[in-house]
Structure 1
């Protein structure tokens, strides 16, 4: 019996989307705007040293994800415990985020902070594999695009709300809490952990556990899973080559999408003269635009298919990026317009990428293939940072880093164009 429902349950979709809403606490507060900024501040050591250590810690985390994500996803498919492992990995992330409260601004706490950030990233990716694999459990073939877009949009909006609470309530001192000894940031970590822990609950109660699509396979040992994975990849190449090519193409363009947000703040400050406060305001505005566009475009995904949405979004990103570069002498107004246009296309590309893959995965292999999705993304995660650094290093002008990111997006688009979704996916044997 299939786990794909005959009709879309609004209650289950909302419950599923609330996990995305809650998970924004880790993406926005921990890894992007608050904790990693705090961890690389002068209280922990000399400038440049901590940033390098953070980079190596995240590289190690990425390697672990690349090695383990496909097998952990495969084993959740086999065991029929997809929701269980979503819960386990989610609340490990919650516990890790809570533990960040104990990281004081002193060099003796650097390695604790780095370990927590790296560990949180690993288990967050594991949770994401199971969460993405549940997409076909809460949607129908006719609604999968809208449901995926709703989830991504909820993530953006949840991040905005929590960032506003943390930034104005704790960082700016609206709540009157002391900032000595990093207490404002450390208390923010407690709020972020509770936020994720609370909003992750609905999906665990509302969505039934995955029971397989009548294709349950024999359970095997952990290391034997790698041999099975190798055979499955070979068979996936033979039976569903479009899936393999899409994993490659999406890995490249998703790294370009990550680069848009990763270096957006840097470019705003260094090229367009934004102050720290203006960067935060732009980040909030960017998340608003990305959230609205992602939810709105989800319906087009269902009508037109995921690939046209991705192609249009990538083309829009390339054009917007070139406008930011060539019109940069126009000052902040250019970045507020063309820069926000960039974010208009990021969310739809991310969401449609997930639905494209969900539509072509052979039944019963969602966890495994979304594990490969995580792995391929990690495997090329150096592309956008490398191209950005290369262009900046060769020219000595940060603005040229924009062209590096645009080239990554263009490469992803060119790899995607030949990919065709099969009319039917091969069943698991």
Structure 2
């Protein structure tokens, strides 16, 4: 086999972001998540529940399902990361979790309203989500091998921007060809292709096989151009060594205060961001009564600003380092979270609006653009920061811990939103915990050294 050039290897790595982004864009946030909420709400109303309570309960179910998935990821991420580092093998794990991604997403086609089962749907969604999250852990850990320490910010930012563009393209295809609006036509003005019947939700459920096929096709460049860098000293499948190395890393964390503070900070601000992504579409559907077509347009705006500012953030990351980028983005997201809570069909930022006013919709679109912009930049800078903070010899394990720090409380945002929604019976009040999580992340970032504490790794 001919040697794979560094440029091709970088492009192959970027294609993972392109291939996997639709699970976040289409499934989690803008298409399937709102479909789940709408379908469950209709079921609950049909059983006699009041509409407001039904919407809050549907949001709570979604939150509890994501909580379970988050706990499983949190438990397994550092163990599998340590195992991969101890064996020197990442690609077999990417293959395995890619299979879970494709199976979980494709199977959600079988969620028609007349055969909808909440538990089964959440299990299938969780399988796809786990596949996506773990595949991301192993591909992220390859980032340091793609360039030197001061180039990886640009590489990460460009990759994240490329992924956002992939999400936009997939979402546009969904809206143009599959998703029917209130008039029964797609954004292109045609009936959903392939004879998909909106009455059975088939036009929306098509997002499931579309997401699966998209991933399977666009992972081909990744598998063609990305390879494990083999170390002949590694012992294949030595599970005991993996656990021993993980234990050593965990015991040594108190000696690496900057890394520990960053793991804590990112634990909260990434959880808050995931909460905004996860519940944004559901919030727009329940609070502003947006149809899925309109939520999809909202998603395009958020994804386009995400792509643009992930690229800009990568440039800023290279120029100033990741910490200033992360700090700025948290401040923007904190303000946006507070703004969203103050938007309803009846008022915007405490000011009453006339019935039918477009101002609440405009304000929410602006918030979506800000979430996309800051979210794209912060996610790109966050994985760069993790490289700067971590032991170069244990990078997959480090990203396992990074996933743990994210997933250790990833269930926290959905859980707090679910509980708050349950107790208050209000979707708007249910979003309040997101702002608190951003604030905690911002405070902990104070103890993070901009350049990390790489000099200490040689001593541990």
Question: In which range does the TM-score fall when normalised by the shorter chain?
Answer: 0.7 to 0.9
Contact 1:153-1:295 within 8 A present in 2 as well: yes
DSSP 3-state at the match of 2:447: coil
* Gaps in structure 2 of 5+ consecutive residues: 46-53, 181-190, 343-347, 352-358
Alpha-carbon offset, residue 355 of structure 1: 0.4
Deviations 1:17-71 (A, max 9, x none): 1111110222223333333444451599536577655544433222221111111
- TM-score normalized by structure 1? 0.86
Choose 246-255 or 164-173, whichever is displaced more. Answer: 164-173
Which residue of structure 2 aligns with residue 233 of structure 1?
250
Report how far residue 144 of structure 1 moved. 0.6
CA distance in 1, matches of 2:17, 2:289: 33
Shift of 1:131: 1.0
1:107-154 Cα offsets, whole Å, 9 max, x none, are 475544332212222222211110110111222212111111112222
Query: Cα offset for 1:78?
Result: 1.4
1:198 equivalent in alignment to 2:217: yes
Counting matched residue pairs gives 419
Q: Distance in 1 between matches of 2:140 and 2:323?
A: 18
Structure 1 residues 65 and 177: CA distance shift in structure 2, 3 A: same
Question: Residue 362 of structure 2 corresponds to which residue in structure 1?
Answer: 333
Match of 2:125 in 1: 117
Asked if 1:424 is matched to 2:455, the reply is yes
- Map Cα deviations across residues 372-398 of structure 1 (whole Å, 9 max, x no partner): 111221221244345556777888775
The answer (yes or no) to whether the contact 1:100–1:113 under 8 Å persists in 2 is yes
Moved more, 178-187 or 416-425: 178-187
SS in 1 for 2:239: coil
* Separation of aligned partners in 1, 2:388 and 2:380: 13
User: 1:160–1:138: structure 2 CA closer, same or farther, 3 Å change rule?
Assistant: same
Aligned 1:239-388 pairs, distance under 5 A: 240-268=256-284, 274=290, 276-323=292-339, 325=342, 327=349, 329=351, 331-385=360-414, 388=417
SS at match of 1:426: helix
Structure 2 Cα separation of the partners of residues 111 and 386 of structure 1: 17
Change in 2 beyond 3 A, CA 1:116/1:393: closer
Find the counterpart in structure 2 of residue 4 from structure 1. Answer: none
Q: Is the 8 A contact 2:334 2:435 kept in 1?
A: yes
Contact 1:45/1:107 (8 A) holds in 2: no
Alignment CA distance shift 1:410-1:36 (3 Å):
closer
CA deviation after TM superposition for structure 1 residue 371, in Å: 1.0
Residues 269, 99 of structure 1: alpha-carbon distance in 2 compared, 3 angstrom cutoff = closer
Match of 2:30?
Answer: 33
Aligned-partner SS, 1:417 = helix
Equivalence map 1:115-154=2 (5 Å): 115-154=123-162
SS of 1:364's partner is: helix
Q: 1:361 to 1:216 in 2, by over 3 A?
A: farther
Is contact 2:68-2:411 (8 Å) kept? Answer: no
Q: Does structure 2 conserve the Cα–Cα contact (< 8 Å) formed by 1:43 and 1:107?
A: no
RMSD: 3.1
Aligned to 2:44: 46
In the TM superposition, residue 311 of structure 1 has moved relative to its aligned partner by 0.7
Question: Any unmatched runs of 5+ in structure 1?
Answer: 1-7
